Amino acid sequence: MSHTSLHVLTRRPPTRQPSNPLLYMALLALLGGTGCATARAPMAAEMAPLSFTTEAVGDGAAPPPILTENRFSRDTSGSISEEALREVLASPVFLEEKARVGIVPVQGSYALDMDVPLPAVTAALADALDSSGEFELSSEVSTDFPVDRGISGLRELAARYRCDYLLIYRHRFVDDAYMNPVAWGYLTVLGALFLPGHTLESAGVLEATLFDVKTGTLLFTVNERVHARERVNVWHNELKTQWMKRKMLETATQKLADQVVGKIRRLVVARPALERKSSKAVVMSRPVPVDAAPREAPSAVEIPVTVSTTGL
């Protein structure tokens, strides 16, 4: 046997290279996942819907009573007792007929603002209340009179102006100023003179509250929120902020007045039936003047009778 044939007989057959084990793992995972999916439904947490019917308390059982009393013993009533609190909350809320209202500006915590009210918001509110026809008279209230601060000072002012209600007005603003991307132009000396590299931002709220002077209660509070942002240069930013606030006040004043008049009319509609008929009853119960009383017809004795004898 030749050397060549011996080499052919002793040569081993070629062996396969092992496949990638990741392929087998992916195939087994796919087959295992498919088998599990067909054999078992996916898990899902379910919760029964809540039942608010009377059946929840038992067949034929009455529903639980409505909670009307305070069960928290640690609550403090402050300056009002528990009986007075319930009396105030149980009483009807409405606007009295033929009432007078005063518009007074205050500071942050219902303290009288002794400065002259430069914004024309109080004047616009007084005009809106006069135009509504729901008050006998509305007037701006001056805070220059020597009165106490706080609620006692407001009641004293109401007594001086003979007002049944006070519309308490105040506004607050939060200002901010920061550089914007245009400020990169300030690197050039000429750009710092006119480029609007500063951003002025201001947010505020206008608030009006109707104060019942007789009962000391607040009937409603309405708010009108404003916001403005402007890009300006670096000159006179404080003055520009003031002008921006003035524009916001002018824009929001009419909206605030509309809210106030809307709340007032809802209080008028809430008047009790006797209060609504009071004006008609006063008109009908007025004494009739003597001159306007109808004269009685003359009796038959006083009527002169003329009999003609002509032709008899």
Out of 6-15, 53-62, 172-181, least confident range: 6-15
- b/e map of 272-285 (b: 16 or more CB within 10 Å)? eeeeeeeeeeeeee
Phi and psi angles of residue 212, each rounded to the nearest 5 degrees, phi first = -85, 110
pLDDT the model gives residue 115: 63
Percent of the chain at pLDDT > 70 equals 66
Architecture of the domain spanning 84-273 = 2-Layer Sandwich (3.30)
Which residue ranges make up each domain of the chain? 84-273
Q: What is the mean pLDDT of the chain?
A: 77
Cβ atoms of 219 and 212 closer than 8 Å: yes
Mean pLDDT, residues 276-301: 47
Q: Give the 3-state DSSP-derived string for 122-143, with helices as H, strands as E and coil as C.
A: HHHHHHHHHHHCCCCEEEECCC
pLDDT the model gives residue 288: 44
- 119 CB neighbour count, 10 Å cutoff: 16
> C-alpha distances in angstroms, 27 versus 23, 35, 179, 225, 310?
6, 12, 60, 64, 145
Measured CA to CA, the distance from residue 209 to residue 223 in angstroms comes to 9
Measured CA to CA, the distance from residue 93 to residue 217 in angstroms comes to 10
DSSP 164-211: SEEEEEEEEEEEEEEE-GGGGGGGSTTGGGT---EEEEEEEEEEEEEE
Measured CA to CA, the distance from residue 196 to residue 179 in angstroms comes to 9
Measured CA to CA, the distance from residue 305 to residue 263 in angstroms comes to 70
pLDDT tens-place string over residues 147-199: 787 888 899 999 999 999 999 999 999 999 999 998 888 888 787 788 898 89
Please tell me whether residue 225 adopts helix, strand or coil conformation: strand
pLDDT the model gives residue 36: 47
Please name which of 234, 238, 118, 233 lies closest in space to residue 175, comparing C-alpha atoms: 238
Please name which of 82, 259, 250, 242 lies closest in space to residue 173, comparing C-alpha atoms: 242
What is the pTM assigned to this prediction? Answer: 0.66
Cβ atoms of 221 and 166 closer than 8 Å: no
pLDDT the model gives residue 66: 86
> C-alpha distances in angstroms, 294 versus 118, 286, 289, 300, 301?
59, 16, 10, 18, 20
Measured CA to CA, the distance from residue 262 to residue 39 in angstroms comes to 66
